[in-house]
Amino acid sequence: MAIDQKPQKQPSRGRTVWLTGMAIAILAGIFVPYGLLAGSDRAMAVLIFWLLFGVVVIGLIAIGVMRWRDET
């Protein structure tokens, strides 16, 4: 008597790319302002970084929501 098991699905390539992009954005949010721009007198550079960081994160979240699928 064989048990019918559903094969495990591998994550799609798009999800892997999206997760990699999120990981890079999170690491950039830590290392750029507290590493590369730390102690810098250029306040505008920090402001521009956070502005661009916010836009990138919003874009990544929008892409993730648009591609959301119920996999149950």
DSSP string spanning 51-63? HHHHHHHHHHHHH
Whole-number Å distance between alpha carbons of 16 and 18 = 5
Per-residue pLDDT reduced to its tens digit, 20-47: 999 999 999 999 988 888 887 788 888 8
Instruction: Count the helices and strands in the chain (H runs, E runs).
Output: 2, 0
Identity of the amino acid at 62: A
The contacts of residue 29 (CB under 8 Å, 6+ apart) are 53, 57
For the residues 47-67, what does the mean pLDDT come to?
92
- pLDDT of 39: 82
Least confident residue range of 25-29, 45-49, 55-59, 66-70: 66-70
Whole-number Å distance between alpha carbons of 58 and 64 = 10
Whether pLDDT at 9 is above 80? no
Q: Is the pTM of this model over 0.75?
A: no
Q: How confident is the model at residue 55 (pLDDT cuts 50, 70, 90)?
A: very high
